[in-house]
Amino acid sequence: METKKITVLAGDGIGPEITDAAINVLERAAEKAGVKFAFDRRKIGGCAIDEFGVPLPDETVTSCKASDGVLLGAVGGPKWDALPADIRPEKGLLGIRKALGLFANLRPAVIYPELSAASPLKKEVLDRGVNVMVVRELIGGIYFGPRGDTNGGKTAYDTEIYSEDEVRRIAKVAFDLARGRRGKVTSVDKANVLMSSRLWRRVVEEVHESYPDVELGHMYVDNAAMQLVRDPSQFDVLLCPNMFGDILSDEASQITGSIGLLPSSSLGTEKAGLFEPIHGSAPDIAGKDVANPIATILAAAMLLDNIGMESSARAVERAVAKFIADGWRTPDLGEGKRVGCREAGRIIADNLA
């Protein structure tokens, strides 16, 4: 029987609860597919600081690099807010992204018809369909350029820098994804103002020449933000620089009605990708068995996709859809048959049968 190694970084807050639910689903999926998952649990974030004094221990990085995939819960919480910036829990997340060379962040936003009432958008807008994949460049741009302050702290600067190679590799990810979806890429920039965006647009167009079967459009980021809430059905794949993708993916998440539904994957130069929910550690509800594990379970489905278990990934997505269609609801999803985190994971795992 084939064995695949999965490193589990449960992290802080609700992280252990939601990852346990996802592991339950993964184990059932592996059983049906005739494979075996070996789960290696390691520390990251606040819990790693408590045990090792650092947010990302070396043994965690070693395990992740030797894995077929990494499942992450969430990091951080008020307990560690007073720590110096260089050892905050979030440094663990930034560190593992860098260690694994994770340059592409994928965030799907999909509307479930049964939950459309929870969306802030009008029904006639949602009826056109919402299925958007935000592709965000993750380790370049203004978040990683030179920064500082001058004039005694009265002036500050952050620098947006992109190279052709950085743009080219993320553009290829977007076009490859579009080929398996509806065949359309919308590249987001601010090329009327920013030199970095002009380079971005030029390189994206060059990459597009190798994908004649995919439609390419360009949109300024301010217009994209408006269009995303006016008519999200017009978008298939949104290709974004780091900061623009950060903002637009959060906007897209709210269209679905609950942040507890949305997974993400981060892919890069190592074989192991990182798969996680887009929400935080929610320490206020940790340990109460009320967290929504669906985003983490769908992140596990993205992990399955990435390791070549596409049919298992689709089965997990169908199991989640059935859970919702059958009326089961964690507290964040409104009225319905109320269920907790642990039971939600069990029901979705049973749906795989």
Domain ranges for the chain? 1-103+260-353, 120-255
Query: What gap in Å lies between CA 29 and CA 320, rounded to an integer?
Result: 13
Residues 6 or more apart whose Cβ sits within 8 Å of residue 328: 336, 337, 339, 344, 347
- Based on C-alpha coordinates, what's the Rg of the chain? 20
Query: What gap in Å lies between CA 68 and CA 32, rounded to an integer?
Result: 19
Query: What gap in Å lies between CA 124 and CA 257, rounded to an integer?
Result: 15
**Catalytic residue (choose from 12, 189, 236, 246):** 246
Residue 190 known to be catalytic: yes
| CATH superfamily to which 120-255 belongs | Isopropylmalate Dehydrogenase (3.40.718.10)
> DSSP label at 42?
-
**Catalytic residue (choose from 250, 271, 289, 322):** 250
**Catalytic residue (choose from 79, 184, 190, 322):** 190
Query: What gap in Å lies between CA 30 and CA 36, rounded to an integer?
Result: 6
Instruction: Write out the chain's pLDDT in tens, 353 residues.
Output: 789 999 999 999 999 999 999 999 999 999 999 999 999 999 999 999 999 999 999 999 999 999 999 999 999 999 999 998 789 999 999 899 989 999 999 999 988 888 888 888 888 888 888 899 999 999 899 988 999 999 999 999 999 999 999 999 999 999 999 999 999 999 999 999 999 999 999 999 999 999 999 999 999 999 999 999 999 999 999 999 999 999 999 898 888 878 889 999 999 987 899 999 999 999 999 999 999 999 999 999 999 999 999 999 999 999 999 999 999 999 988 889 999 999 999 999 999 98
Residue 162 known to be catalytic: no
**Catalytic residue (choose from 58, 149, 176, 222):** 222
- List the alpha helices (DSSP H) in 66-156: 89-99, 123-126
| Buried residues in 69-87 as b, exposed as e (16+ CB within 10 A) | bbbbbbbbbeebeeeeeee
Q: Which long-range contacts (CB under 8 A, 24 or more apart) does 319-328 make?
A: 319/25, 319/348, 319/349, 319/351, 319/352, 320/294, 320/348, 320/351, 321/112, 322/351, 323/294, 323/347, 323/348, 323/351, 324/112, 324/114, 324/115, 325/112, 325/114, 327/114
Task: Give the angle 177-120-286 at the CA atoms, nearest 5°.
Answer: 80
- Token duo for residue 246: 């950060």
> What pLDDT score does 295 carry?
96
Residue 250 known to be catalytic: yes
Residue 32 known to be catalytic: no
Let me know: does 214 contact 236? Beta carbons within 8 Å: no
**Catalytic residue (choose from 20, 143, 271, 322):** 143
Strand partners, 337: 328
Residue 246 known to be catalytic: yes
Is domain 1-103+260-353 classified as CATH 3.40.718.10?
yes
- Token duo for residue 306: 């990435």
- List the alpha helices (DSSP H) in 34-163: 46-52, 58-65, 89-99, 123-126
Using a 10 angstrom Cβ sphere, with 0-12 exposed, 13-18 middle and 19 or more buried, the burial of residue 98 is middle
> What pLDDT score does 125 carry?
86
Let me know: does 249 contact 134? Beta carbons within 8 Å: yes
